[in-house]
Structure 1
Amino acid sequence: MRYCLALDLKDDPALIAEYEQYHEKIWPEIEESIRSSGITDMEIYRIGNRLFMIMETTDDFSFERKSSMDAGNPKVQEWEDLMWTYQQALPLAKPGEKWLLMDRIFKL
């Protein structure tokens, strides 16, 4: 399965540069968490302060299971807290929401 998600960064060039540096080499515990949840490939793109993530997953991947796994992983919680330093919710996000799932509206 493929999922596409969006999120904003705080519109500050120094913070954006730091965020990108963290993603040049993510923590090994974070990569393990991503892979063990059933995500087989992940890419993040940026334009301005808008982020776009593409995730390829196994057929049995579940956002609920990933969320539960993350909640029980202190290193993931540490990473998420750190990343929130740089991120900001999209204007239409509900309280506590970060990455929002996008709807595909066209396919060639």
Structure 2
Amino acid sequence: MPRFCYTFELLPGTLDRYEQEHLEIWPEVVEAMKRVGITDYSLFRRDHAVIAFGECVESVFDTLRALDDDPDNQRWSGHIRTLMHNPLDADGQLKISHEIWRMP
């Protein structure tokens, strides 16, 4: 199953709000994730650094592109990204980490 991971930094003073937003994540965003084939998605935080990890049924690129095209996810992304430094590269894509090892 394809997996993905990316990291980003939260802006100063946003830690509590960021965590609260995810305690109250919009149900339509979770449904959009499931609809595009994301089967697992987790966020981990250490200080201002956030690590996002997920698994999906199809290719990571196609799955994340489909999620980017979802109107509910677009609204959520616009809302939640006000709390973080820009997580996107010059092409407007998430800065996906390269997996170097997985326990067999």
TM, length-normalised to structure 1: 0.78
Contact 1:38–1:61 under 8 Å retained in 2 = no
Instruction: Note the residue ranges of structure 1 that are not aligned, 5 or more in a row.
Output: none
Runs of 4+ in structure 1 off by over 2 angstroms are 61-72, 92-97, 104-108
Aligned residues of 1:7 and 1:89 also touching (Cα < 8 A): yes
For these two proteins, the number of residue pairs brought into alignment is: 102
Aligned to 2:11: 10
- Give CA deviations for 1:3-57 in whole Å, capped at 9, x if unaligned: 1111111122xx1111110111310110011111111010000111111011011
Give unmatched runs, 5+ long, in structure 2. Answer: none
Q: Percent identity?
A: 25
Q: Which residue of 2 aligns with 1:25?
A: 24
- 1:104 is aligned to 2:103: no
Distance 1:52 1:65, change over 3 A: closer
Which TM-score applies when normalising by structure 2? 0.81
Query: Deviation at 1:77?
Result: 1.7
The root-mean-square deviation of aligned C-alpha atoms, in Å, is 2.2
User: In 1, Cα distance between the equivalents of 2:3 and 2:63?
Assistant: 17
